[in-house]
Amino acid sequence: MGIQATVKWKGLTKLVKGIEDGKAKTKPSLSEFTRKLGKDVLDKYQENLSGAVPSTAARPLPVGVVTGELLAGARVKQVNQYRTDVYNDAGHSGWIEDGTSKMAPRRPLKNALDQIEETVPGRMGEVTRKITSS
């Protein structure tokens, strides 16, 4: 049971245009911007997974590293200029994200998406994102 976050940057053209109209000195292409955002999400996701201290109900992140399988399974793939998929190949990654009957969800991937949204200038509210467990 792995997880996949499909991050589709809907409205990305307007977002990049807004950055261009601001104080940005270089104009990023849509593809470059999407690639950078995908990499940023992956970095935050890995940061949320790493850590020697296990999470608690009050502080669910970082998840903590025992075997390193979750951290090693984190991947990013750019599908096109508008979409980047961030996913994890580890079989138990879905249980970490969604929780189980005996464990609350920790949501390291959802939290990574939220953290990136806070750092990007412009209107990230137009971003469509979906996290699915398979």
Domain boundaries, the chain: 3-133
Please name the residues in contact with 58: beta carbons below 8 A apart, sequence gap of 6 or more.
none
List pLDDT tens digits, range 29-53. 778 878 888 898 899 899 988 876 6
Angle in degrees, CA 126, 131, 133, rounded to 5: 165
List pLDDT tens digits, range 80-115. 887 788 888 888 888 888 888 998 888 888 888 888
β-strands 3-8, 83-88 pairing: antiparallel
Q: What pLDDT was estimated at residue 43?
A: 92
- pLDDT exceeds 50 at position 1: no
DSSP state of 1: -
Q: What pLDDT was estimated at residue 11?
A: 53
| H or E element, residue 82 | none
List pLDDT tens digits, range 14-24. 566 555 555 55
Number of H helices, E strands in the chain: 5, 4
